[in-house]
Chains A and B, each alone.
Chain A
Amino acid sequence: MRLAYYPGCTMKTDAKNFDESTYSAAEALGIELLEPTRWNCCGTVHALAKDNVMNYLAPIRNLIRVEQMNEAELVDDKRVVTQCAMCYNTLKRANAAAKADPDKMGKIRDFMEKEPNYQGSVSVVHMLELIKGLGWDEVKSKVVKPLDGLKVSPYYGCLLLRPREYGIDDPDHPTVMEDLLEALGAEVVDNPYKAKCCGAYHAVHMKEVAADLSYRILKQAQEAGADIIVTACPLCQFNLGDRQNEVKKHQREFEGIPVVYYTQLMALAFGKEGTGFEQNTPDPVPVLEEKGLL
């Protein structure tokens, strides 16, 4: 299966391990991901003000590129696979709005001038939806190194699940990450804060607030006995992982817990190179070694 894949800019820098492990996991599942040759940052957030047309330009341009890939028959169907939760949400919502609001699309088209008209044929999916669609048995069949004894706490964050209309799962009781982790052989540890916000972009100008929100999530996972937390968003990963130093400034007793992208555990369980663990902070290698997985 050959599909268009929109990586997003952070996947090419701070979240290279997410990008790399996405390719590894997809390859094991027989999915070939193809990036558009030309793409731009999606803008990260959907414009909520009804008269904001400007913020649609970035996501729509990307959808046009994917539509062109379809037309050139470079890919098997009209889906574009996303990974970063914020890219997913931004592209998904811009796509929905473009289809629902021809007036707005007209304005966007007039403004862009040089671009071909967006026909609205693309459908935006998240990698987790794609994997779920393959079936958990299929996933299980690719596992060569089950994650036996690894207690994993999934963290969804906000934008994979909300707003309700655009989520990939039931926002009150999501299960897709749990099902995946079980298929990989891990032991799932529930976290009541798994869909509570990590503080997102407050990390830029209100570090303490973001650290406080992240701490609640980390503590809950730890208290439930998790060895490791998994995320699906470079910003969640930054707040929960890289910013644990900030958390420690305020919570002296906090000892830290590794946080990895769910695809990194997939790559590991599938026995693939390119897990990218060396890029994670804190280092997940010791706990994975302790469990005999590395």
Chain B
Amino acid sequence: MSTGTSGLYFTFKPENAAFKAKVEELSGENIDLCFQCGACSSGCPLTGEMDLLPSTVIRYAQLGMAEVLESKTPWICITCFNCEIRCPRGIDIANVMEAIREMMLRTKYDKFTLDELTPEELRELPQIAIISNQRKLTA
């Protein structure tokens, strides 16, 4: 983490600026608008499964902290847009989550491949489930 030796202060370095710019470019969101009210997190149905709250992901992105790429949260986010309708600053958090997923997917990373499913599961699941899953979780 790009915090100082004591962990008490943080220096915004060029690589942080670059990371933040990339997130903004891919998501199309102005993440500086976020003032950490937490409304997004409070409306999110999946925080129980996440390691970082959605609002914390936004904070990491604001600070350009690439560590957020290792978070579970963007993969747990289901793109339900509950946060989107709540954000008082007009940020579509789901877009930021997708930007982070995309940054990982573009490094030949697949979150989940269909090889892991059993024939029984493949027989049971409707196309709509498999297709959306693959669009979100594979490159």
Q: A-side interface residues toward B, CB under 8 Å?
A: 8-10, 13-15, 41, 43-45, 47-52, 55, 84, 86, 158-159, 162-164, 171-172, 196-197, 199-206, 209, 213, 233-235, 238, 242
Q: Which residue of the partner chain, among A159, A202, A238, contacts B126 with CB atoms under 8 Å? A: A238
Q: Are A41 and B99 in contact (CB under 8 A)?
A: no
Q: Which residue of the partner chain, among A45, A205, A233, contacts B79 with CB atoms under 8 Å? A: A45
List residues of chain A with CB within 8 A of the CB of B137.
205
Q: Are B131 and A162 in contact (CB under 8 A)?
A: no
Can you report 15 residue pairs joining A to B where beta carbons are below 8 Å apart? Answer: A15-B128, A44-B131, A45-B79, A45-B132, A48-B92, A196-B45, A199-B78, A200-B78, A200-B79, A200-B132, A201-B78, A201-B132, A203-B125, A235-B128, A235-B129
List residues of chain B with CB within 8 A of the CB of A50.
25-28
Given A50-B25, A162-B81, A162-B85, answer yes or no on A204-B133 (Cβ-Cβ < 8 Å). yes
List residues of chain A with CB within 8 A of the CB of B84.
162-164
Q: Which residue of the partner chain, among B49, B81, B82, B99, contacts A49 with CB atoms under 8 Å? A: B99
List residues of chain B with CB within 8 A of the CB of A235.
126, 128-129, 132
B50 to chain A, nearest CB (A): 11
Q: Are B85 and A171 in contact (CB under 8 A)?
A: yes
List residues of chain B with CB within 8 A of the CB of A204.
112, 117, 121, 125, 129-130, 133
Q: Are A172 and B85 in contact (CB under 8 A)?
A: yes
Given A49-B98, A162-B81, A172-B85, answer yes or no on A10-B45 (Cβ-Cβ < 8 Å). no
Flag whether B39 is at the interface (Cβ < 8 A).
no
